[in-house]
Amino acid sequence: MKRKRRAVVIGAGVIGATSAEMLLRTGFDVTVIDAEAEPAQGASRANAGQLCYPFAMALGNPGFLRGLPRSLLDPESGVGVSPLTVMRHWAWLAAFLRNCTEARYNRNSERLLTLAKISMSAHAALLKRYDLKFDARQTGKLWLAPTDAALQSAIRHLPLRRHAGFEVEALDVGECLKVAPQLGQSKYAFAGGIYAPESPVGDCRAFTSNLIKEMQAQGVKVEFGVKASHVETSGEQVTGVRTDNGVIPADVVVLANGLAAPQLLPRRHRPAIAPLRGVSVTLPCDPSALNVSITDPKRAVAICRLGHRLRVTGGAEFAPSGAPSRRAVRRIMDVARAWMPDAADYDTVENQAWCGVRPTTVDSLPSISQAGAEGLYVNAGHGSLGWTLAAGSAEILRRQIMNADGAGRAAFDTGPNP
Ligand SMILES: Cc1cc2nc3c(=O)[nH]c(=O)nc-3n(C[C@H](O)[C@H](O)[C@H](O)COP(=O)(O)OP(=O)(O)OC[C@H]3O[C@@H](n4cnc5c(N)ncnc54)[C@H](O)[C@@H]3O)c2cc1C
């Protein structure tokens, strides 16, 4: 009897879990390894929880660039840079700036929205195969425009989203209040919003952990506390993964280890991925606290309810991970309190603060491609959209592995280091 092909997935975050599920479904004998002791301990741990398909747009755009100096000087904006990170990733920064033109923004956003559409159906299909509990809720997302100019600029980009097949609408202040009556108590003024009903929420960590448990029950081997140090090859073919626990043989290796993926790739195949740090805080709340999820772009804060918990997330610092700074946590709590004073008990000692980094590429497109040796694939660099794009990225990867002729390779390949 022909032996099953063996696949090793490096990384047990949401991208590794969905990649592994795809490989299992495709008939591989799958092993997942992660350096941490549990799944979803990296960026997938306590993110903003938004499956924001219609909002899968590129980070770099002319407006972002124009507003950057002001944001950097404004302590309320949550935007910051670490000089060390700038020095380490100067080539990334230069390439990112080149992606801030209107033309590149439109092209990158179109491709992200296409992937988001694939992801929306792939996620729904996955939920038919597994009964996963992750505080999922079919809710909408409301993006709050701080000024008329911001609203008009967002309205100009609605056709891109509609062209991709998403339902999105511009709302005036009164209509926003109908969608989120809690904003009636807000201390902040706003000019209106962009609302998308097809934007559910869910706990990414619970999804990842439960999916991994389900796969273990189906025979997937999962090894925690095991760090990959090298991808082994023979000639042009992948043969396994060297770890601090020995070599695991493999016919296919998927690097789903986020920010660390480039370290395991030959230089010419390394995607440029840089850290964009954010923090979150999770507070107990009443289920009536909030229905839609809310994004305040001016202060870079997102608020959503996951079951009995309010998740407030924010900040965009070009900096590596670390402990959540008190100042950053206080800032996002203050912003949430100002928007919705009664949504949660903001003074509770039960709050859980977290700091994570978005593994960000220069054009916001994840790197999903064959990378060097035959059988070696990367699925990393999902930036601020990894939860949203996870199921679709696994589907793109499936098409590439199935074709194995490189035909799909350019689909979401962000290319080597600039
Ligand atoms: C503050 C914040 C808010 C966010 N909000 C949202 C949101 O609302 N919606 C959305 O779609 N996305 C959001 N994101 C982005 C999303 O969380 C990430 O894009 C996604 O989690 C990336 O998943 P990943 O599996 O690639 O990386 P990770 O979750 O970081 O997983 C990588 C794993 O690889 C392991 N690893 C690394 N190197 C090795 C090695 N050598 N050997 C073995 N294991 C290794 C790590 O331990 C880790 O577990 C947010 C991110 C942040 C930081």
| Chain segment 106-124, per-residue pLDDT in tens | 999 999 999 999 999 999 9
Mutate to test the pocket of ligand 1, among 382, 388, 414 (most ligand atoms within 8 A of CB): 382
Ligand 1 site-directed mutation target among 47, 265, 305, most atoms within 8 Å of CB: 47
Cα separation, 366 vs 369, whole angstroms:
9
Stretch 128-137: mean pLDDT, rounded? Answer: 97
DSSP state of 74: -
DSSP code of residue 289: S
Which ligand 1 atom sits nearest the alpha carbon of residue 227? 42
| pLDDT for residue 412 is more than 90 | no
The pTM of the full predicted model, rounded to 2 decimals, is 0.95
Quote the pLDDT of residue 1.
67
Nearest-CA residue for atom 16 of ligand 1: 386
> Shortest CA distance to 284 belongs to which of 302, 303, 305?
305
Residues with CB under 6 A from ligand 1: 10-16, 33-36, 41-44, 47-50, 52, 227-228, 256-258, 260, 278, 280, 313, 356-359, 380, 382-388
320 CA → ligand 1 middle, Å = 13
Instruction: Name the residue with tokens 């090894």.
Output: 223
Q: Residues 147, 149, 152, CA angle at the centre, nearest 5°?
A: 110
Band of pLDDT at residue 387, cut at 50, 70 and 90:
very high
Q: Answer yes or no: are the C-beta atoms of 33 and 241 closer than 8 Å.
A: yes
How confident is the model over 202-250, as pLDDT tens digits? 999 999 999 999 999 999 999 999 999 999 999 999 999 999 999 999 9
The two three-digit tokens of residue 222, written as one number: 């999962």
Domain extent at residue 249: 1-418
DSSP for residue 25: H
Beta pairing class for 29-34 and 221-224: parallel
Q: Whose CA is nearest to atom 15 of ligand 1?
A: 384
Q: Which of 44, 45, 388 to mutate to test the pocket of ligand 1 (most atoms within 8 A of CB)?
A: 44
Average pLDDT over residues 266-282: 94
**Number of the ligand 1 atom closest to the C-alpha atom of 302:** 8
Q: How far is the CA of 14 from the centre of ligand 1 (A)?
A: 7
| Burial class of residue 173, CB neighbours in 10 A (0-12, 13-18, 19+) | middle
CATH number at residue 113: 3.50.50.60
74-97 pLDDT, tens per residue? Answer: 888 889 999 999 999 999 999 999
Say how many Å lie between the CA of residue 45 and the centre of ligand 1. Answer: 7
Total of domains in the chain: 1
